[in-house]
């Protein structure tokens, strides 16, 4: 009886903390809610301090990855790379809003596939805002592309989303097997997302854009920032091929890029450090602890056994249930803890590859429903707020309802065809 009472309190605390992260009541920062919930679990004795510390330590690779990406993005912003790319994109749009939309969508796919969905949120979003501003276009249709393609294209490769590595862990399939299972679902998710966004944004894409621009030269710092981003992409590909974690290589690439620019141009790195979104790190740490608390209630093990039993009876039904269920859960609790739960399911139960793949698709694509569904979208929201724009949870949800469900259904149907 005592155990069930403790489990109920744990779930209530986790639910309140997650709701705080999603809704931000009284504009209290997201990380405050996550850390408060995590601290309550420890103070009330619902989660041992050692277990909480272990949960925080488990996020080490994620912290390093985010730090490296944020440093690269801030370097690119301060050195004018985003402004230069914006002018390049606006000029090649040739006055067509739909052409600019297509260009942003294609670049978003490339950045997500080879640098991860978090990079799309952190690195590409400021450049897209600058491009819209240069072309005198309403920025939101193009910024929404960054948010949605960051998740829709995040399972093309293992490195396209750090959650992919968390879910499969040591059981990561070879690249050829990965491409066989995820190429068709990825193509379906990307295509449906593109069609849905084009249809929903068609009114704002009808007005012509500015066609005359002042020439802009990319300085030495901007060129070095671009080199740093390209080398980071190569580093991530190599690290993924070798089966290494991505956090430390990304962090090292960001630090090396910052050191090169500041030594070359004799600039103080504190200007980069003070503009980083430091609140993202305690947010992630708090979410890791909340998931650990939920895991201590034993419900994850029960879910794993139930999913294993369903998979032994009907792999197709298990895959649909796993993909849709975790996709919805990702919006209720953010896909970072949902990804950790999916990884725990894989550890506590023996699941076929198709079911694990469906879990991954749900974790990656499902969060496109809500503004706080994924860590990438939270990073996107931070970048958007930094430009002085406000996107409410309801505004994003109205669009997400039209974009995510058909994309998720199409991806899971494509996965079923691949496994047939």
- One-letter-per-residue 3-state SS of 233-297: HHHHHHHHHCCCCCHHHHHHHHHHHHHHHHHHHCCCCHHHHCCCCCCHHHHHHHHHHHHHHHHHC
Does position 261 have pLDDT exceeding 70, yes or no?
yes
- The dihedral sign for the CA sequence 181, 244, 408, 187: negative
- pLDDT above 50 for 1: no
- In this prediction, residue 314 carries a pLDDT of 82
Would the pLDDT of 343 be above 80?
no
pLDDT per position as a tens digit, 57-112 = 877 887 888 788 788 878 877 887 777 777 777 777 788 889 889 988 988 898 88
Give the H or E element holding residue 160. Answer: none
Long-range interactions of 387-393: CB distance < 8 A, separation 24+: 387/126, 387/129, 387/139, 389/129, 389/139, 389/140, 389/143, 391/140, 393/22, 393/23
Q: What distances in angstroms separate CA 136 from CA 85, 139, 205, 282, one per listed residue? A: 15, 9, 12, 37
Least confidently predicted of 16-30, 131-145, 363-377: 16-30
DSSP state of 137: -
DSSP symbol at 218:
-
DSSP designation for 363: H
Mean of the per-residue pLDDT values for the chain? 83
Over residues 236-260, the pLDDT tens digits come to 778 777 767 778 888 888 888 888 8
CB 324 within 8 A of CB 373: no
Question: Higher model confidence: residue 186 or residue 9?
Answer: 186
Highest mean pLDDT among 85-89, 246-250, 357-361, 406-410: 406-410
Look up tokens 């109920």; give the residue.
Answer: 8
Q: How far is CA 26 from CA 23, 33, 117, 299, in A?
A: 9, 11, 29, 32
Q: For 291-340, how does the pLDDT look when each residue is reduced to its tens digit (9 = 90+)?
A: 788 777 777 777 777 877 887 888 888 889 888 988 988 887 778 778 87
- Predicted confidence at residue 215, as pLDDT, reads 65
Q: How far is CA 365 from CA 26, 304, 370, 407, in A?
A: 29, 21, 11, 8
pLDDT higher than 50, residue 276: yes
The residue ranking higher by pLDDT, 216 or 17, is: 17
Phi, psi of 156 (to 5 degrees): -65, -45
pLDDT at 2 over 70: no
Query: Distance (Å, rounded) from C-alpha 414 to C-alpha 187?
Result: 9
Q: What are phi and psi of 213, to 5 degrees?
A: -135, 150
Residue 412's pLDDT is 95
User: What's the rounded Cα separation, in Å, for the pair 317 and 273?
Assistant: 48
Inter-CA distances, 122 with 116, 232, 241, 281, Å: 10, 14, 24, 14
Residue 146 contacts residue 108 (beta carbons within 8 Å): yes
Residue 212 burial (10 A CB sphere; 0-12, 13-18, 19+): exposed
Prediction pTM value: 0.81
């Amino acid at each position: 009886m005592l155990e069930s009472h403790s489990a109920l309190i744990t779930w209530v605390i986790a639910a309140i903390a997650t709701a705080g992260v999603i809704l931000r009541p009284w504009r209290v920062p997201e990380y405050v809610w996550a850390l408060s919930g995590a601290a309550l679990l420890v103070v009330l004795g619902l989660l041992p301090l050692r277990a909480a510390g272990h949960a925080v330590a488990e996020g080490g690779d994620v912290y390093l990855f985010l730090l490296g990406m944020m440093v690269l993005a801030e370097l690119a912003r301060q050195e004018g790379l985003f402004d230069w790319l914006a002018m390049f994109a606006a000029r090649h749009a040739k006055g067509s809003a739909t052409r600019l939309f297509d260009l942003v969508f294609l670049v978003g796919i490339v950045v997500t596939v080879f640098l991860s969905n978090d990079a799309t949120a952190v690195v590409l979003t400021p450049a897209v805002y600058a491009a819209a501003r240069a072309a005198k276009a309403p920025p939101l249709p193009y910024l929404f592309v960054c948010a949605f393609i960051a998740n829709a294209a995040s399972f093309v490769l293992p490195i396209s989303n750090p959650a992919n590595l968390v879910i499969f862990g040591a059981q990561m399939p070879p690249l050829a097997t990965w491409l066989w299972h995820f190429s068709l679902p990825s193509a379906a998710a990307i295509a449906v997302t593109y069609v849905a966004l084009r249809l929903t944004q068609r009114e704002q894409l009808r007005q012509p854009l500015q066609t005359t621009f002042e020439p802009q030269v990319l300085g030495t710092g901007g060129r070095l920032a671009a080199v740093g981003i390209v080398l980071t992409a190569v580093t991530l590909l190599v690290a993924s091929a070798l089966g290494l974690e991505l956090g430390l290589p990304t962090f090292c690439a960001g630090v090396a890029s910052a050191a090169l620019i500041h030594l070359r141009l004799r600039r103080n790195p504190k200007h980069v450090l003070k503009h980083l979104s430091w609140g993202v790190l305690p947010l992630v740490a708090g979410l890791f602890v909340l998931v650990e608390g939920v895991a201590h209630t034993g419900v994850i093990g029960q879910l794993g056994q139930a999913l294993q039993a369903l998979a032994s009876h009907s792999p197709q039904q298990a895959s649909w249930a796993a993909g849709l269920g975790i996709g919805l859960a990702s919006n209720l609790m953010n896909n970072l803890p949902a990804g950790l739960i999916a990884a725990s399911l894989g550890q506590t139960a023996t699941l076929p590859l198709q079911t694990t793949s469906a879990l991954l698709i749900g974790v990656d694509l499902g969060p496109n429903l809500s503004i706080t569904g994924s860590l990438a979208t939270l990073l996107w929201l931070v970048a958007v707020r930094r430009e002085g724009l406000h996107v409410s949870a309801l505004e994003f949800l109205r669009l997400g309802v039209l974009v995510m469900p058909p994309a998720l259904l199409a991806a899971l149907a494509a996965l079923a065809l691949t496994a047939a």
